[in-house]
Amino acid sequence: MTTAAPDTHAQKPHLTREHLLHLLRQMIRVRRFEERCVELYQQEKIRGFLHVYIGEEAVAVGVLETLEAADTVVATYREHGHAIIRGVPMDAVMAEMYGKAEGCCLGRGGSMHLFDAGTRFYGGNAIVAGGLPLAVGLALADRMAGRHQVTACFFGDGAVAEGEFHESLNLAELWRLPVLFICENNLYAMGTSLERSQSQTDIHLKAQSYNLPAEVVDGMDVVAVEAAARRAGAFIRSGQGPYFLECRTYRFRAHSMFDPQLYREKAEVETWRKHDPIDRLTSWLRETGTLHDVDLLAIESDATMEVDKSVAFAEAGHWEPLEQLTRHVYTERALP
Amino acid sequence: MGTFSMPSLGADMEAGTLVEWLKHPGDRVERGDIVAVVETQKGAIEVEVFEAGVIDRLLVEPGTTVPVGTPMALVRGPGEEAIEAPAPELVSAEAAAAPAPSVHPAPPPSAPAAEAPGRPRASPAARRFARERGLDLVGMTGTGPGGAVVSADIERSAASPAPAPHPTRGLDLAEMRRAIAAAMARSKREIPHYYLSTTIDLTRAHAYLERINAERQPADRLLLPVLQLKAVALALRRMPEFNGFHTADGFQPGTGIHVGTAIAIRGGGLATPAIHDTDRLSLDALMAHLRDLVARTRVGRLRSSELSDATITVTSLGDRGVESVFGVIYPPQVAIVGFGKPVERPWVAEGRVVIRLLTTTTLAADHRVSDGHKGGLFLAEIDRHLQEPEKL
Amino acid sequence: MTVQTAAAPKSGVVGNVVQTTYREALHDAIREALLKDQRVFLMGEDVGRYGGCYAVSRGLLDEFGPDRIRDTPLSESAFVGAGIGAALGGMRPIVEIMTVNFSLLALDQIVNNAATIRHMSGGQFNVPVVIRIASGAGRQLAAQHSHSLENWYAHVPGLKVVAPATVEDARYMLWTALEDPDPVIIFEHVMLYNVTGILSADGGPVDIGKAVIRRPGRDVTLIAYGGTLGKTLDAAETLEADGIAAEVIDLRSLRPLDTGTILRSVSRTRRAVIVDEGWRTGSLAAEISAIIMEDAFWDLDAPVSRVCTAEVPIPYPRHLEQAALPQPAAIVAAARATLGR
């Protein structure tokens, strides 16, 4: 860590019971949504590539908790959770997973390309590291327009090998742009482990080499992630430039649906499961007497109902007419 | 064994229709003998054979239209045995015109022609135009790439009545008119003409003719056009830029001086057969050629080489009372010389007004090849030769 | 590279027309855009202090400052992507890519992001970025600096691709491109920067989607764009002397193609020659030829002809470079061949 933001009260999470239950609820919403997606994929309701976020929920929940409405989000193809947490209605996300016209992108994007103007959610990018330059540009626009907003840019450890990662970090720092870079380091770029692809596996060091303030965060601890994101946000909003968080996390399921996981040991997965961010928060809350069975039951019940409702919404949705095939390629402008 | 094939009688000829065989299997032929009559757009043409031997067999039936280059007869050379192999089937008009099997319920009218051996090269637009106008592309003269029939050719053809369904021996004036139309339209469209005119004193030439004709029988008398043809031919020796062809590669000088002479046909039409090596023929030989040509042209019997070889054209409408002719160049030639009616007029010579026999002589020439300065010299050269008729 | 002596390009006003160069026209267009719209900024390698590789942006840094005239690191992917991101964020960036070969380093951002985001987002987001790229051969810059890859970009739905071939288009296309809500790539042929032309001082924005007939004629249609327009007009002049009236179409927009203008002309002349500095195989000329075959076949009097660059990386020696490129003589020959001459 080269530069740490001052540790003031304002930057600390408000660890009230209500807030902690909120964090738990958010993670469980994502978990249940993703589990249902796996099921729907196997029923061929959802097609294409499907990358679920199970195991990594604490990162998106912790970071997005700290953003304001006018802030911007750029994510990857493993972004269903980010969209839901950011506030895109689960109905619209599920309908998009189905490819229905009621989806958040009219079904045109599908699972890897969720966009939502209302929540300033800029995808959903299937090119590893492809979102980083966009985030730099979005931040540049804020900066030039005098808006003091943060662009949160999520990417995985695989992105670190791409030139766009290095180009973007350099440019963001050079121009002191308000970007929060969040590396979701789940140790595998698809099936290639970090140590098999990087000479330097401490990713935050790479960011530091471009003079970005960077820190390592336990990505399985939603409270720790939120705390780090608040520190980063305060730094960025103060106009000092970008900030880098390396969140160490793990995906419990395969990279995508068609993946026998030959590249990692089952034991390794089991070890990481012991750090499941939802179990961890639940246990802690139970130990501290903050969470009771009835609370958890209510959270689970709400989540299940919300997912059920989203599936019903998607099922009832309709397919965009074929006549509209070539729409949305160029802006349709009314004739003068 | 030699092959006698449908000849190309012009750069724009794609196919011809055999009208008549003048030689038959077993007949001995010499180089230059007329062996067949072929109907083309420009009329019926007697076709020569270019090797000596004996006609072995005929491969094409009269009435059949075949593309240029199609073998029509086999000629057995000296010492060669008759071939024993079964004779190839004669190409008949029916076979040539038979449409190919088609899975399409209603093939356009041009499809049979397209599938037949004599498939004309024609552009899509020409095919559409022909279909719309009910015209047959076969035998049509093309002015497009590679001699392809293009839309403009169809438009010209459409202006004339439809060709007779069966080619007949002799002249087809409608066909001829179409050919003239195509050639002249191409000329005016493509050739940047320039026109020069001068007055030539024919008094001496006339006196010369009077003198030598006085002792001759009418059939042997020389006529003024012979002197004019010879004068033009001799002038071309020094002015080669008016003798030859303009092609895609630019100007190609003629390998000889073959003056084409415009001969009107009664009932309409025009042919411009060439007199080969005009500059080397005596006036008597030239006169004989001219009489023969006029006679044969008027019955539509011209040799292929006579129709395609002219390197320049001379036209004279003097006997129609016309004083000056502004000609249209016959492509791919690059010049046409016109002689008007000789008229006695007052003329100033050596400071005195005298009566002279004068003719207006004109030149229309291709500006891509020559310019007016050269054209003027060419006319002056013709004039010079006509002032010394005894040297012609 | 030609460097001007004046700090800022000057235009000599003559009456109500202006005598100017292609370079000055581009400069004036950028300057006008910067003055008109605070959202507009210029970004690229050496656009600021250096004044632009081809001196187009000379003097702008002094006038508008480093915030709006941004020198970037040699990070094509990042700064082109940042341009796309800034456009998404409400700005109107002009991104300059020094030459088309370097644009390949940003191909990911252009093809995977700029071209797709509008569609992927179901029409929620549009990308009003303008990317200027210098392209083409003729300056003996050898194989890597001489590409004509316009058709690579014109292949991609979601992008608009234009090629100003005249001083007037250089001057007035930019503003139309900036007003367009979708990504527009402007290809500036390197041989045009020094070309002088006259434009009306009070000219307005031009419709970048339409081709223009630069010379009317009835015998054959010559279709060109960008750097080949001048050569094609020269060829038409030669053909005129031969009595062939060639119609010359300047495509201007390579995507979308103004097929209406092409087809109307070819249906009239019945003959087409397409002049394209791209390599023949898979060229824009091939695309146009296919369009003519599909929609004007029955109007044709000759096969469609193409005059393209020889299938060789552009060689350094001048004689070889010139031999590889489309030249007026080849255009004349192709046009004559369509007339059977």
Whether C159 is in a domain gets the answer yes
- DSSP SS3 for B166: coil
Q: C67 contacts in A (CB within 8 Å)?
A: 144
Measure the CA–CA gap between C274 and C255, rounded to whole angstroms.
16
C229 and C312 housed in the same domain:
yes
Whether C166 is in a domain gets the answer yes
The residues pairing with C95 across neighbouring beta strands, listed in sequence order, are C43, C131
Percent with pLDDT over 70 in chain A: 95
Measure the CA–CA gap between B124 and B150, rounded to whole angstroms.
8
C138 and C223 housed in the same domain:
no
C304 and C328 housed in the same domain:
yes
Please say whether the beta carbons of B65 and B116 come within 8 A: no
- Top residue of C263, C301, C332 to mutate, by most chain B CBs within 10 Å, is C301
**Helix locations, B214-279, DSSP H:** 224-238
The chains found to touch A (3+ Cβ pairs under 8 angstroms) are: C
Which residues span the domain enclosing A168? 9-314
Of C171, C200, C229, which one is at a domain's C-terminal end? Answer: C200
The residues pairing with C134 across neighbouring beta strands, listed in sequence order, are C188
Q: ipTM value of the model?
A: 0.90
How far away is chain C from the Cα of B124, in angstroms, using its nearest Cα?
5
Are C341 and B190 in contact (CB < 8 Å)? yes
Of C200, C231, C262, which one is at a domain's C-terminal end? Answer: C200
Measure the CA–CA gap between C133 and C112, rounded to whole angstroms.
18
pLDDT greater at residue A297 or residue B95: A297
The secondary structure of A301-327, three-state, reads HHHHHHHHHHHHHHHHCCCCCHHHCCC
Whether C12 is in a domain gets the answer no
Helix or strand run (H / E) with residue A213: none
Q: C126 contacts in A (CB within 8 Å)?
A: 331
Measure the CA–CA gap between C272 and C261, rounded to whole angstroms.
13
* Torsion angle of C-alpha atoms C75, C81, C86, C87, degrees rounded to 10: 130
What pLDDT band is residue B24 in, cutting at 50, 70 and 90? Answer: confident
The chains found to touch B (3+ Cβ pairs under 8 angstroms) are: C
Whether A2 is in a domain gets the answer no
pLDDT at C1: 34
Whether A106 is in a domain gets the answer yes
C157 and C45 housed in the same domain:
yes
What separation in angstroms does the CA of C138 have from each of B41, C21, C142? 51, 18, 9
Mean pLDDT of chain A: 94
Please say whether the beta carbons of C191 and C227 come within 8 A: yes
Cβ pairs A/C, distance under 8 A: 155
Model pLDDT for residues C159-204, shown as the tens digit of each residue: 999 999 999 999 999 999 999 999 999 999 999 999 999 887 777 7
Model pLDDT for residues B249-264, shown as the tens digit of each residue: 889 888 889 999 888 7
What pLDDT band is residue A132 in, cutting at 50, 70 and 90? Answer: very high
Please say whether the beta carbons of C92 and C37 come within 8 A: yes
What are the phi and psi torsion angles at B323 (to 5°)?
-85, -35
C120 and C192 housed in the same domain:
yes
C165 and C258 housed in the same domain:
no
What pLDDT band is residue A296 in, cutting at 50, 70 and 90? Answer: very high
Model pLDDT for residues A218-254, shown as the tens digit of each residue: 999 999 999 999 999 999 999 999 999 999 999 999 8
Whether C180 is in a domain gets the answer yes
The 10 Å Cβ neighbour count of residue B254 is: 19
How far away is chain B from the Cα of C315, in angstroms, using its nearest Cα?
30
For B233, the token pair is 């031919």
Of C200, C221, C253, which one is at a domain's C-terminal end? Answer: C200
What pLDDT band is residue A11 in, cutting at 50, 70 and 90? Answer: low
Whether C141 is in a domain gets the answer yes
A168 lies within 8 A of chain C by CB = yes
CATH label of the domain that carries residue C306? 3.40.50.920
CB-CB: which of C41, C112, C119 is closest to A127? C112
- pLDDT(A4) > 70: no
A205 lies within 8 A of chain C by CB = no
The residues pairing with B366 across neighbouring beta strands, listed in sequence order, are B193
Whether C58 is in a domain gets the answer yes
The residues of C annotated as belonging to the active site are 76, 145
Whether A163 is in a domain gets the answer yes
What separation in angstroms does the CA of C212 have from each of C244, C249, C251, C261, C334? 20, 6, 6, 8, 21
Are C78 and A117 in contact (CB < 8 Å)? no
Radius of gyration over every alpha carbon of chain C, rounded to an integer in angstroms: 20
CATH label of the domain that carries residue A200? 3.40.50.970
- Top residue of B121, B129, B143, B150 to mutate, by most chain C CBs within 10 Å, is B150
Model pLDDT for residues B371-390, shown as the tens digit of each residue: 999 999 999 999 999 999 99
Q: CB-hemisphere CA count at 13 Å for A204?
A: 18
For chain B, what is the total number of helices (H) and then of strands (E)? 10, 20
How far away is chain A from the Cα of C5, in angstroms, using its nearest Cα?
31
Please count the structural domains in chain A.
1
pLDDT at C149: 97
C108 and C256 housed in the same domain:
no
For B142, the token pair is 């093309």
Q: C270 contacts in B (CB within 8 Å)?
A: 123, 125, 150-151
**Helix locations, A100-243, DSSP H:** 131-145, 163-174, 194-197, 203-209, 222-235
Are B123 and C339 in contact (CB < 8 Å)? no
C337 lies within 8 A of chain B by CB = yes
- pLDDT(B302) > 80: no
Residue partners of B169: CB distance under 8 A and separation at least 6? B19, B20, B37, B39, B44
Which residues span the domain enclosing C131? 17-200
Measure the CA–CA gap between C182 and C79, rounded to whole angstroms.
18
pLDDT greater at residue A85 or residue B82: A85
Percent with pLDDT over 70 in chain B: 82
C162 and C182 housed in the same domain:
yes
Q: B368 contacts in C (CB within 8 Å)?
A: 242-243
Are C298 and B125 in contact (CB < 8 Å)? yes
Please say whether the beta carbons of B91 and B61 come within 8 A: yes
CB-CB: which of B125, B191, B247 is closest to C270? B125
C175 and C259 housed in the same domain:
no
Model pLDDT for residues B62-73, shown as the tens digit of each residue: 888 888 888 888
Whether C98 is in a domain gets the answer yes
pLDDT at B11: 55
Model pLDDT for residues A157-167, shown as the tens digit of each residue: 999 999 999 99
What separation in angstroms does the CA of C340 have from each of A63, B127, B186? 73, 17, 12
CB-CB: which of B145, B151, B189 is closest to C337? B145
The 10 Å Cβ neighbour count of residue B354 is: 12
What are the phi and psi torsion angles at A262 (to 5°)?
-75, -15
What pLDDT band is residue A87 in, cutting at 50, 70 and 90? Answer: very high
Are C338 and B123 in contact (CB < 8 Å)? no
Are C299 and B192 in contact (CB < 8 Å)? no
C23 and C57 housed in the same domain:
yes
Please say whether the beta carbons of B363 and B375 come within 8 A: yes
Residue position matching structure tokens 């409400």: C90
- Top residue of C68, C74, C75, C110 to mutate, by most chain A CBs within 10 Å, is C75
pLDDT at A255: 87
Whether A326 is in a domain gets the answer no
Beta strand B352-366 with B335-339 is antiparallel
C28 and C166 housed in the same domain:
yes
Are B368 and C242 in contact (CB < 8 Å)? yes
C157 lies within 8 A of chain B by CB = no
CB-CB: which of A130, A175, A327 is closest to C112? A130
For C245, the token pair is 């009236």
What pLDDT band is residue A334 in, cutting at 50, 70 and 90? Answer: low
Whether A331 is in a domain gets the answer no
Prediction pTM value:
0.67
CATH label of the domain that carries residue C195? 3.40.50.970
- Top residue of A88, A93, A140, A169 to mutate, by most chain C CBs within 10 Å, is A140
What are the phi and psi torsion angles at C59 (to 5°)?
90, -15
Please count the structural domains in chain C.
2
Q: Which stretches of chain C drop beneath a pLDDT of 70?
A: 1-15
C71 and C167 housed in the same domain:
yes
pLDDT at B81: 67
Domains and CATH numbers, chain B: 2-94 (2.40.50.100), 106-187 (no CATH), 193-391 (3.30.559.10)
Model pLDDT for residues A175-193, shown as the tens digit of each residue: 999 999 999 999 999 999 9
Please say whether the beta carbons of C324 and C314 come within 8 A: yes
What are the phi and psi torsion angles at B91 (to 5°)?
-75, 120
Q: B145 contacts in C (CB within 8 Å)?
A: 302-303, 337-340
What are the phi and psi torsion angles at B299 (to 5°)?
-105, 5
- pLDDT(A168) > 50: yes
Whether A332 is in a domain gets the answer no
**Chain A, window 124-143: residues with a beta carbon less than 8 angstroms from a chain C beta carbon:** 124-127, 130, 132-142
Residue of C nearest to A142 (CA): C89
Whether C10 is in a domain gets the answer no
